[in-house]
Amino acid sequence: MYLKLAWRNIWRNKRRTLITVSSIMFAVVFALFLESLEKGAHDVMIENMTRFHTGYIQVQDYRFEDEPSLDNAFYYDDSFSVRVRDFELVEYTIPRIETFMLAAGAEVTRGAFVMGIDVDREDQLNNLKDRLTEGKFFEPGDGTAVISEGLASRLNLAVGDSLVLLGQGRFGMTASGLYEISGLLRHPTREMNNQLVYLSLPDAQWLLSADDHITALLVTPSRSRNIEPVAEQLRTDFKDEELAVFTWREMIPELVEALEFDRAQSRLMMGILYVVIGFGIFGTILTMTLERMREFGILLSVGMQRIKLAFVVFIETFFITILGVLAGFVLGLFPILYFHFNPIVLGGNMEELVAEWGIEPVMPTALSPEIFIWQGMMVFILTTIICFYPTIKILTLKILDASKA
């Protein structure tokens, strides 16, 4: 009976109800969009770093972190890969051998980051083949290379030209090789786009005198939430071997700190936003309450109990809150979906700033149920607290004063 009475009451004055619902709805939409934009930007940072740099989990020689040298590469074969892939929650593995070398064209020499990879496995992690802008990727052991567009521009090279690599291999051996450029790709981060050379894993191992050795094995769990459990499983299995296991958070702590700092700033801004939202909603609830003071006085004067009247009014405001939050979810989903598939592209100084971090200058919104749950819950709690105002007002109302309103 109370629910039916409250529902009918909120639609007796449709304009007042719609104004209140609208204020809650737009508060939810604004909060959802800001939170989604922040999470989307963070996801881009993490995705760029993990997919193109560190991976989610890395297995290395235990000395490699302190001394990232080819001397600290470790033995790797198909049986080792199968052993890791057989772990529960592991989806696939990616072997890499990495080093710095001099890269030269006909006239220009530049420093380059040389990476020996298995193209098909890399493509599983970062869609590397889609980054190719010209030519094609190499086949294992065919003696060709794919280089980034930035490096190609700096060396004045194109597809079909020859690339010279010169550096130091494993145990101080001289490493030099001549490779035909089979393709160019555009790396999403500027720093890597200016210095990256990809070789097939067998070619890189031969060049660096590191047969059957790699510097890192990237392990990708079936889901991102399984990163820590998989890392712990690997650490337990490798505890008697000269291998170390690191998660992306351990490999790039500066990014983790930057994200935490940004989240703290966002929480402060959201706190200010909630205060503004709270006063806006309180204003509409206050107006609604004052408009009905005479009605409340008449109901109390004809014998309706205060507690029952207060309970009905609280249910009314509760209904209005639910309607506002649900409408905010529906309306807020449209801009979030739009900017998720059409990210905001940064330009000018902001583009330069994020490029220094090695991050794509885009800001998509994130599609995450957590955002809707968290923001909906916060606005709902805030509005519910405000809804106690008319309840308290009724419980302390003087009938004679109300009848004169």
Identify whether 247 is part of a domain.
no
> Which of 241, 268, 298 is a domain's end point?
241
pLDDT for position 351: 63
Q: Dump pLDDT digits (tens) for 51-77.
A: 878 889 999 999 988 888 899 999 998
Given a cut of 80, is residue 216 above it in pLDDT? yes
How many whole angstroms separate alpha carbon 27 and alpha carbon 244? Answer: 48
Roughly how many angstroms between the first and final C-alpha of the chain, as a whole number? 28
- In this structure, the answer to whether residues 67 and 45 fall within a common structural domain is no
Q: Dump pLDDT digits (tens) for 258-271.
A: 778 878 887 888 78
- In this structure, the answer to whether residues 399 and 366 fall within a common structural domain is yes
- In this structure, the answer to whether residues 310 and 378 fall within a common structural domain is yes
Identify whether 58 is part of a domain.
no
- In this structure, the answer to whether residues 119 and 217 fall within a common structural domain is yes
- In this structure, the answer to whether residues 81 and 196 fall within a common structural domain is yes
Q: Dump pLDDT digits (tens) for 378-394.
A: 877 887 788 788 778 77
Task: Domain of residue 366: give its range.
Answer: 2-49+255-403
Identify whether 27 is part of a domain.
yes
Identify whether 248 is part of a domain.
no
Q: What is the DSSP string of 143-207?
A: SEEEEEHHHHHHHT--TT-EEEEEEE-GGG-EEEEEEEEEEEE--SSHHHHTTEEEEEHHHHHHH
- In this structure, the answer to whether residues 214 and 276 fall within a common structural domain is no
Number of domains comprising the chain: 2
Identify whether 28 is part of a domain.
yes
> Which of 241, 275, 298 is a domain's end point?
241
182 pLDDT tier (thresholds 50, 70, 90): very high
Identify whether 259 is part of a domain.
yes
Q: 175: exposed, middle or buried (C-beta count within 10 Å: 0-12, 13-18, 19+)?
A: buried
- In this structure, the answer to whether residues 278 and 235 fall within a common structural domain is no
Q: Dump pLDDT digits (tens) for 307-337.
A: 887 787 788 878 888 888 889 889 989 999 9
pTM strictly above 0.85? no
- In this structure, the answer to whether residues 8 and 104 fall within a common structural domain is no
Q: Are 167 and 179 in contact (CB under 8 A)?
A: no
Identify whether 281 is part of a domain.
yes
> Which of 241, 274, 296 is a domain's end point?
241
